[in-house]
A and B are shown apart, each in its own frame.
Chain A
Amino acid sequence: MDGISLQQQVLQAIEDRAPLRITAGGSKSFLEQKTEGIAIDVNAHRGIIEYDPRELVLTARSGTPLSDIENALAASGQMLAFEPPHFGSAATLGGTISTGLSGPRRPYSGSARDFVLGCKMLNGRGEIASFGGQVMKNVAGYDVSRLLAGSHGTLGILLEISLKVLPRPASSITVSRECSKGDAISIMSKFLSRPYPVDGACHDGERVHLRISGSEQAVKEARSKIPGDMLPDADVFWHGLREQTLPYFHRPGTLYRIAVKPSTRPMHINGQWLFDWGGAQRWLYSVEDTETIRHQVALSGGHVTAFRNGSNSTPLTPPLFALHQRLKASFDPLEIFNRGYIFKTL
């Protein structure tokens, strides 16, 4: 399916004042709030449009399977440095950018939005518009393409996305050792402010795992300075962490995602914890009341979302909420896209 037929569907929806619910691979539908409308499927709008490894830029249609993109990059020794979670083999580029999720490398390399260079989109007036571009440095106009990252399809339909890509590290190992949650926080914080080539840091409840990546020499040198055991099958571990397939995630109940400053001491909330992102992203299975958890997290300056089996996010202050509504209306005045998806007010 091409952009034009998607555009025709949107124009029809505008004429009918009928909301559209944007779908693609469906791999992250568990994140969706209830939205209204007829499904508009971008899955068939696929294909890599341009990729020159020497430019470190890849442009693809939004329905392109994420795995196709990663395979194309791997063939040239490159990668999406934000290590996006797929959450299923049907994951698409559009869904990846719309949800704006990033994997374990996020604190060290940057987030999904950090790697967005430009996009082509369909707005709520049925127009096709292009923002940003295919170059690293570009300050012409507001940075709309990065705004669209993580906007959950509420501002429009992504048609094409250009991303900055990076070389895969020549070498990578993981050093692991048993320690308490508190000690893990101290260890992981230390690597944030010292020049070690660490690009992943996690505490799984029992052990801290530090992934060291870079040139052969850099990894060898760092290994000699960082105590711990070599983790066998490290790739399997980090993949399981990213995709939430580690045994930790095989639990019933609500999985909370808690974002805090990395040095935040372990919080006294009952449940099972796993720390990722060097302590900046913490997962929690808890039967505590959501409001209690939110209150605790807010005390340390963080925010919480019910990531699986729950449905709420940290509410916005009234002036920010009002700004979100005005911004939504500036892209989609008739509220055609993903109607019902709201960033809540306090």
Chain B
Amino acid sequence: MNHQALISELKRMLPPESVLHDREDLRPFECDGLSVYRQLPMAVVLPGTVEEVQKIVRLCREHEVPVVARGAGTGLSGGALPLANGLLLSLAKFKRIINIDVENAMATVEPGVRNLAISEAAARFGLYYAPDPSSQIACTIGGNVAENSGGVHCLKYGLTVHNILMLKVVTMEGELLTIGSQTLDAPGYDLLALMTGSEGLLGIIVEVTVKLLPKPERAQVVLAAFDDVARAGEAVGAIIAAGIIPAGLEMMDRLAIQAAEDFAHAGYPRDAEAILLCELDGTHAEVSEYIMKVRKILTDNGATEVRTAKDETERQLFWKGRKSAFPAVGRISPDYYCMDGTIPRSQLPRVLHQISSWSAEYGLAVANVFHAGDGNLHPLILFDGNKQGELERTEEFGSRILDLCVEVGGTITGEHGVGVEKIDQMCTQFKGPELNQFHAIKAAFDPSGLLNPGKAVPTLHRCAEFGAMHVHHGNLPHADLERF
């Protein structure tokens, strides 16, 4: 079936406004949050019902047309990058919050519901949805499940995989499967774990039941300054060794602090080599008790300054600095390249030291922001894409950082996903048996291989070189979103 015939058939089965194929209509879908990769799809479909999704995939299955599912398109690894010969299936019309079950602390929603909208809807019951990726005002829950999104509260509250109960999924065969259940487990294999973070390769998510948590009575932030990055890392370990699990534990290095302070005026100490932000939440009494303990631990571990936010406004301000670190760095450099490795926390001094010596070697500055609690490191490499060869050198530098993350026992991606961006680094982290297993799992779910082909898992034959998140002149895609 040629493209024109397929589009005619789609128009016959869907309402006319649900099929887009003019070039200008396709343009908004040509990339996700990783805008260095762009590709127009053959057509975009916007189904409004599960039955329509099933009809579309069956048609595509029959005619061997690849399908790429897309939520809000805020992903940072090109997972929703269209294919020239494929259909882009947007779930934008699936925006209904189906049910909030207060007694059982769960919510059932359609995949196009925004992450933050769930917490907003649950707020009047004193509940919220815990994972809070930085794009939470725009990103959708379907995309969160596909990417196993994290956020700043992962150490205490887990990733998406820890906070969902049930999925309804349409397979490439057009079958509707219920995975997991509204109870705490389901018979058979844990397919819920497998689906979460599968980057659209195993099925199309059409409904999600999430776990809700009671909103803590109180949250408070302590800011600590250090004259040495390694000492800040020690302090993080000491807090955890004392039996305290902070809700958020973030670290920034000198360049990141200065950029963030200039941008957000958060009151950060500009001369510090590192700062830590430690958020504690829980009941009033518990938070008060932990703040005293944390302040003492920070001081005992060589903090040059320890400040507790004096009120909610200052707490928000402390966070604002951290959350604006990406755009702040975008302001001081024509371009930057954002990495997303995770390392065992104890390796932080070694990794930062190595990054710093490579930084000198390549002549490229690096600002480091770090989810210190869970070991997720975001080095931002500053460069100028207009300078001949600088992007290539940056990419080489970046790939050495990811290789180092693997070498010290970590991973190439903590929360942004593999997508098209890190497909070559997958070859560093995994060998033949693992990659073969991934392909075999893919084939078990999608024997025709038509769901988001070419993403997330490299073939053994081809570990091709891809680029990375390339931000030109501070123009982030979705520049209005916080990126941390």
Q: Which A residues are within 8 Å of any B CB, using their own CB?
A: 52-57, 76-77, 100, 106-107, 110-111, 113-114, 123, 125, 127-131, 133-144, 146-147, 149-151, 155, 166-168, 170, 189, 192-197, 214-218, 220-222, 259-263, 277, 280-281, 301-303, 305, 313-317, 319-320, 323-324, 326-327, 329-331, 343
Contacts and interface: CB of A to CB of B under 8 A. Distances in A.
A301 to B, nearest CB: 6
Residue of A100, A138, A217, A261 with most partner-chain B CB within 10 A: A138
Interface stretch (B254-262, B305-313, B434-442): B434-442
Contacts of B194: 142-144, 146-147
A26 to B, nearest CB: 23
Interface stretch (B33-41, B64-72, B176-184, B467-475): B176-184
A130 B434 contact: yes
Contacts of B346: 52, 54-55
A323 B191 contact: yes
B115 interface: no
Given A139-B417, A151-B190, A189-B103, A144 B410 contact: no
Contacts of A192: 103-105, 214
B8 to A, nearest CB: 30
Interface string B425-452: 0100111011001101101110100000
B5 interface: no
B345 A140 contact: no
B174 to A, nearest CB: 10
Nearest to B281: A195
Given A168-B243, A170-B243, A329-B444, A137 B415 contact: yes
Contact of A197 (B103, B177, B196, B283): B283
A319 B434 CA distance: 26
Nearest to B197: A139
A135 B342 contact: yes
B284 interface: yes
Given A135-B411, A197-B286, 5 more contacts: A77-B243, A106-B184, A140-B430, A142-B194, A320-B178
A53 B241 contact: yes
24 contacts: A52-B344, A54-B237, A54-B241, A136-B155, A137-B154, A138-B410, A138-B413, A140-B413, A140-B422, A144-B194, A146-B190, A193-B125, A193-B214, A194-B126, A194-B214, A195-B283, A196-B214, A218-B282, A261-B101, A263-B104, A301-B181, A319-B175, A319-B177, A327-B191
A216 B190 CA distance: 37
A220 B285 contact: yes
Interface stretch (B44-52, B223-231, B371-379): B371-379
Given A146-B193, A189-B104, A193-B214, A137 B437 contact: no
B240 interface: yes
B414 A135 contact: yes
Interface in B103-149: 103-105, 125-127, 147-148
B324 interface: no
A114 B376 contact: no
A197 B282 contact: yes
Nearest to B244: A167
A281 to B, nearest CB: 7
B389 to A, nearest CB: 29
B86 interface: no
Given A135-B414, A216-B289, A195 B189 contact: no
A277 B105 CA distance: 14
Interface in B366-387: 371, 374-376
Closest CB pairs A-B (n = 10): A146-B193, A167-B243, A330-B440, A218-B286, A54-B237, A217-B285, A137-B414, A326-B444, A263-B103, A127-B433
A134 B217 contact: no
A135 B198 CA distance: 19
Contact of A261 (B104, B215, B429): B104
Given A215-B289, A301-B182, A137 B376 contact: yes
A264 to B, nearest CB: 9
